[in-house]
Structure 1
């Protein structure tokens, strides 16, 4: 029998009204411009307070519950299954062919004009845009009795004006979408009936998708990023990934996490290696904030042009780029090795290999600082705090969605902050973990280990 505390359409509507009122009141009080569906709308609510961020997530949970109850269980499943993949495919295709720039942000375009810009048949363009309109990606407009034209909504305009948002869509949908769709078959072949997920990199969903070679002979997604494309387009995914990471850091205010992850000012003069540091955006923020820090950014060679373009001249004597794969032995001795959202991409064995590759140059007291995305994923029930606040489902989903992508791409996983200690211990007992701390936002965890001979 259903519990009396189960939400109803009426109670959910009241809850939505209450939460929406709180959020709207905060927006008015802080004089934050309100978002709308118009193309000139602000693209986001800037700097929501922690309290208002949680109010918004609770509002999203209630809206989702209302949508399910309004449809009923079976119809809500049918409607989701009917639209989920076409929605993702439409967004990925619009993004891949850059429909965003085919329509003026402050104007409109005919279907024929869009088709000419994206080099696709008019019929294909019409059908894609008709679905996009149902997603509030573009809108159809008609002046008098003239033919219909396409104009931007706030969602499509946000994509038109942000290469970072475009890179996010591409990295999540184009790079990992197809592997996710064969996750079921990969699990059936490689993990069914076994005590745990396969840890072999040749038994991932990504490896299964590429096994026949029709999508390229790539052993893992990093090879795809580095080598996909021909001529000037070779490595375009890697360049896109660099932009994606820059956007993520902006979206999640990661520079604040990096600045507060370690007691940098107390160290005075210190040398840092930023492994897999992409185009060095975080390194440059650190160097600017702390003038005694000297940083070597390490990543693959395809990243260096983006690093060179971003490096201010006044930091060139303290921030440098060095081509390096963290699967090779570390060549640079430093006081601190910084790994940001690196290890979560890999199974345990690869994580320990990455850490062991540091050992030949580690001096007593050298430190390894991990900044990892946790987002509430991976915790067993017994590991959760009984008296801690329950996270909204919409917030948990940030972590669980990333976790499933890692499963499909790498046989990796999002780990709760407490699990990283065992990764260091498995790499070498001389790593002593002295700090495991979740950042207040709930998205990231900080792990600090000291090398002790």
Structure 2
């Protein structure tokens, strides 16, 4: 008789769970739990512990599939996935998290009053949330926080992530079938025009009374009166959170020999509210930094700029498609190009050229959803599916919003070349465990 896959998986899960728990104990790190006093994340784990955790996640997912069987696992996923996402999105949008005290509980009627929604809707939403370990019933009329809902109550950046991923991209992603049918069926590649994306199809017809061709228009203009641009403020908070969870500070600091740059001027193209510019200014007091982004970001930049770097960090309103007019020595482009197709990414790099002088450098820091064989020295065996899924999920979002895709780091050589032959890519460094790559190019002029 063939060995039971369930028993074999169970043995592997037990072994991996024990290894992860033991490593947490050895590093004196607390385990996560469902209690509100649980640590919000497993901070301080090593690369080896991270891989153990992701491999364990893969095995647990395989167990979930096999226990249900092929047909039922698909059925159960389809039955729950959209209601789960919609429930989380609504709970987050109306900030149910603050309607329940972290230490204590709240009745359904109290929550309904605080979020200004009908009691029946609130009860049904929260009851579904409890099936996702978002809140826990303490009685038939009252709930308290779990660690998952408490994490959202405590972390505005996590709320912003939910809003940005579900609220902004959720609708367009469900319109991908119509967009592919309308614009790409029968063609050898995806439509490249930003007006022919799932996002443009979903918002271009104005289902909510306004028409937006791309997400940047949506971020900056959605909302009425004082609320206009509220999504942009959320997006800035989201990007700040992304920097924290992916330890982007370390990636930025290691992206270049900033000490050797001495008194250089660094232009942070699309630099949001200037978090990375502030980091570099504090670490390297000889650098001058100019942050460029959309006008709606400037009030956030002004409000968050610390006094100790005001003399060296400034903000310039700039459209990344417009010719670069700000003089600098190093131009840093972070988490922008992966949002666009190769042709659009090349246009963005080409827009830099009017401001470049021979010897200027362009440093691209990008999320990489795909890693080529041999692209990283740390890649010795296939990555766990849960890590690969991080990349493929982002890849599909890029398809829905921009008709773009996640690409391996080496692909940026071709994008620089397509932008202008005078770009000389001198370095490409990628690490799939950080999900990021750094590409450095010199302008030969």
Same fold, TM-score > 0.5, yes or no = yes
Aligned residue for 1:419? 411
Deviations 1:10-30 (CA, angstroms, capped at 9, x unpaired) = 111111111111110111111
Aligned residue for 2:117? 120
Aligned residue for 1:18? 15
C-alpha contact (below 8 Å) 2:364/2:440 kept by paired residues = yes
CA distance in structure 2 between the aligned counterparts of 1:283 and 1:32, rounded to whole angstroms? 32
Q: What's the CA shift for 1:353?
A: 1.4
C-alpha contact (below 8 Å) 2:13/2:56 kept by paired residues = yes
- Aligned pair partner of 2:142 in 139, 149, 165: 149
Q: Where do 1:88-127 residues align within 5 Å? A: 88-127=85-124
Judged with a 3 Å threshold, the aligned counterparts in structure 2 of structure 1 residues 387 and 400 are, in CA distance, closer, same or farther, namely: closer
Judged with a 3 Å threshold, the aligned counterparts in structure 2 of structure 1 residues 383 and 296 are, in CA distance, closer, same or farther, namely: closer
Q: What's the CA shift for 1:43?
A: 0.7
Q: What's the CA shift for 1:441?
A: 2.5
C-alpha contact (below 8 Å) 2:222/2:230 kept by paired residues = yes
Are 2:264 and 1:270 equivalent residues in the alignment?
yes
CA distance in structure 2 between the aligned counterparts of 1:156 and 1:52, rounded to whole angstroms? 25
Deviations 1:38-87 (CA, angstroms, capped at 9, x unpaired) = 11211111021000000000000000000000000000000000000000
C-alpha contact (below 8 Å) 1:375/1:395 kept by paired residues = no
Aligned residue for 2:127? 130
CA distance in structure 2 between the aligned counterparts of 1:387 and 1:114, rounded to whole angstroms? 49
C-alpha contact (below 8 Å) 2:376/2:431 kept by paired residues = no
Are 2:206 and 1:209 equivalent residues in the alignment?
no
- Aligned pair partner of 1:322 in 292, 316, 321: 316
Q: What's the CA shift for 1:383?
A: 8.2
- Aligned pair partner of 1:450 in 433, 442, 445: 442
Deviations 1:206-228 (CA, angstroms, capped at 9, x unpaired) = 01101221232111110000000
Using the TM superposition, name which of 300-309 and 50-59 deviates more.
300-309
For 1:274, what is the secondary structure of its paired residue? Answer: strand
Q: What's the CA shift for 1:440?
A: 6.1
Are 2:430 and 1:438 equivalent residues in the alignment?
yes
CA distance in structure 1 between the aligned counterparts of 2:284 and 2:299, rounded to whole angstroms? 25
For 1:278, what is the secondary structure of its paired residue? Answer: coil
CA distance in structure 2 between the aligned counterparts of 1:441 and 1:78, rounded to whole angstroms? 32
Are 2:55 and 1:62 equivalent residues in the alignment?
no
CA distance in structure 2 between the aligned counterparts of 1:116 and 1:268, rounded to whole angstroms? 57
Aligned residue for 1:311? 305
CA distance in structure 1 between the aligned counterparts of 2:119 and 2:3, rounded to whole angstroms? 49
C-alpha contact (below 8 Å) 2:375/2:430 kept by paired residues = no
Using the TM superposition, name which of 102-111 and 260-269 deviates more.
260-269
For 1:417, what is the secondary structure of its paired residue? Answer: coil
TM-score after normalising by structure 2: 0.97
Are 2:234 and 1:237 equivalent residues in the alignment?
no
C-alpha contact (below 8 Å) 2:369/2:407 kept by paired residues = no
Q: Give structure 1 regions of 4+ aligned residues with deviation exceeding 6 angstroms.
A: 4-7, 380-387
Judged with a 3 Å threshold, the aligned counterparts in structure 2 of structure 1 residues 386 and 250 are, in CA distance, closer, same or farther, namely: closer
TM-score after normalising by structure 1: 0.95
C-alpha contact (below 8 Å) 1:274/1:338 kept by paired residues = yes
Judged with a 3 Å threshold, the aligned counterparts in structure 2 of structure 1 residues 107 and 387 are, in CA distance, closer, same or farther, namely: closer
CA distance in structure 2 between the aligned counterparts of 1:412 and 1:85, rounded to whole angstroms? 24
Count how many residue pairs are aligned between Structure 1 and Structure 2: 444
CA distance in structure 1 between the aligned counterparts of 2:413 and 2:127, rounded to whole angstroms? 51
Q: Where do 1:33-432 residues align within 5 Å? A: 33-142=30-139, 147-215=140-208, 216-376=210-370, 388-432=380-424
CA distance in structure 2 between the aligned counterparts of 1:34 and 1:347, rounded to whole angstroms? 41
CA distance in structure 1 between the aligned counterparts of 2:384 and 2:102, rounded to whole angstroms? 35
CA distance in structure 2 between the aligned counterparts of 1:386 and 1:160, rounded to whole angstroms? 37
C-alpha contact (below 8 Å) 1:376/1:442 kept by paired residues = no
Q: What's the CA shift for 1:6?
A: 9.2
C-alpha contact (below 8 Å) 1:406/1:414 kept by paired residues = yes
Q: What's the CA shift for 1:388?
A: 2.6
